[in-house]
Amino acid sequence: MKRIIKVSVIAASMMLTGLMASDVLATVNGKNVTKQDAQLFVQATAPGTNFEQLTAEQKKMITDRLVERVLFIEASKKEDIEKTPEFKKNIEKLKDELLVSLWMKAQMDNAIVSDSEAKEFYEANKEKFKIPESIHARHILVETEESAKELIEQLKTLKGEALQMKFIALAKSKSTGPSGEKGGELPPFTKGQMVPKFEEAVFKLENGKITVVPVKTKFGYHVIFLEEKKLASMVPYDQVKEKIIQTLKQKQFQTKLTEVAKELKSKAKISFSDTLSETEKK
């Protein structure tokens, strides 16, 4: 009966604290090590990582470290580390850092940016949100101009899907470039990413067309097929709205911080050591 009552009390305590039994990874001398503790540990050591997505072995390793931490804390308390002058000195420093950190967070949280301000910033800085013209193309690379011309002869009378399929087949069998096994396919690229002669030729092409004259570069001779040319466009406002708001909040925060610092300095009694130069005192 006593055991049932004890279990019930523990369960009730967990419910009151919002802690579920499934959240507890270990219990060390009555202190719970939870998934929340593990997530904080993971975030501090590897930002962006989720504890739940780790392997069983990794979870066990982290849980072991947290268990050890609890034991180390207990050991330090038993040795009265908290009563040492060094501890008291450093705890005051940590308090000061926390005070400033929480004060700054409050200033940042109080920064307000309206939708109209964000939209105005978007309109005034459109170049920052511009997606440049890009190319999706295939090419066949061969060593001689004659080989390139022979390929063009086999391709120039074809159109549409027939042209595309033939080009892919020839790229796989004839191209000496690393993209040959992928049918000559190149990752999408923008201006400035390819050698000049290649870029000049491909940007003149229309979708679904090939170069009818071999394109010579330092790599050899190319026959190019343009899969798709995407014209320059704008990133939609809705996709960057939150990022803009955060940028403007940060700017607002920095401006306010400078103003507050200036005001506080004007009201404070400040004296500088003679060891500082006049520039350092400002």
Average pLDDT for 88-115: 91
Examine domains 2-79 and 133-231 and report if their fold is the same.
Answer: no
pLDDT at 20: 59
Going by pLDDT thresholds of 50, 70 and 90, the confidence category of residue 215 is very high
Nearest CA among 216, 197, 205, 214 for reference residue 136: 205
CATH placement of domain 133-231 = 3.10.50.40
Average pLDDT for 97-124: 92
Going by pLDDT thresholds of 50, 70 and 90, the confidence category of residue 8 is very low
Res. 12: pLDDT tops 60: no
Going by pLDDT thresholds of 50, 70 and 90, the confidence category of residue 44 is confident
Res. 1: pLDDT tops 60: no
Res. 175: pLDDT tops 70: yes
Average pLDDT for 45-54: 88
| Domain definitions of the chain by residue range | 2-79, 133-231
Quote the DSSP letter at residue 131: E
Residues 115-161 pLDDT 10s: 999 999 999 999 999 999 999 999 999 999 999 999 999 999 999 99
pLDDT at 46: 86
pLDDT at 5: 42
Going by pLDDT thresholds of 50, 70 and 90, the confidence category of residue 14 is very low
**Amino acid (1-letter code) at residue 15:** M
Dig out the tokens for 173 from the structure.
Answer: 């069998």
CA gap 222, 48 in Å, rounded: 43
* 3-class DSSP assignment, residue 163: helix
**Would strands 24-28 and 31-34 be described as parallel, antiparallel, or unpaired?**
antiparallel
Going by pLDDT thresholds of 50, 70 and 90, the confidence category of residue 208 is very high
- How many residues comprise the chain? 282
pLDDT at 11: 43
pLDDT at 21: 56
Res. 15: pLDDT tops 80: no
Whether 223 contacts 147, CB under 8 Å: no
**Would strands 215-217 and 220-230 be described as parallel, antiparallel, or unpaired?**
antiparallel
Going by pLDDT thresholds of 50, 70 and 90, the confidence category of residue 281 is low
Q: How far is CA 252 from CA 110, 114, 154, 207, in A?
A: 10, 12, 63, 46
Record the pTM: 0.54
The owner of tokens 């700017």 is 251
pLDDT at 62: 92
Whether 190 contacts 132, CB under 8 Å: yes
Going by pLDDT thresholds of 50, 70 and 90, the confidence category of residue 7 is very low
Res. 88: pLDDT tops 50: yes
Nearest CA among 221, 217, 171, 177 for reference residue 194: 217
Average pLDDT for 233-243: 94
CA gap 108, 178 in Å, rounded: 51
CATH 3.30.565.10 fits 2-79, yes or no: no
Beta bridge pairs of residue 126: none
Beta bridge pairs of residue 229: 135
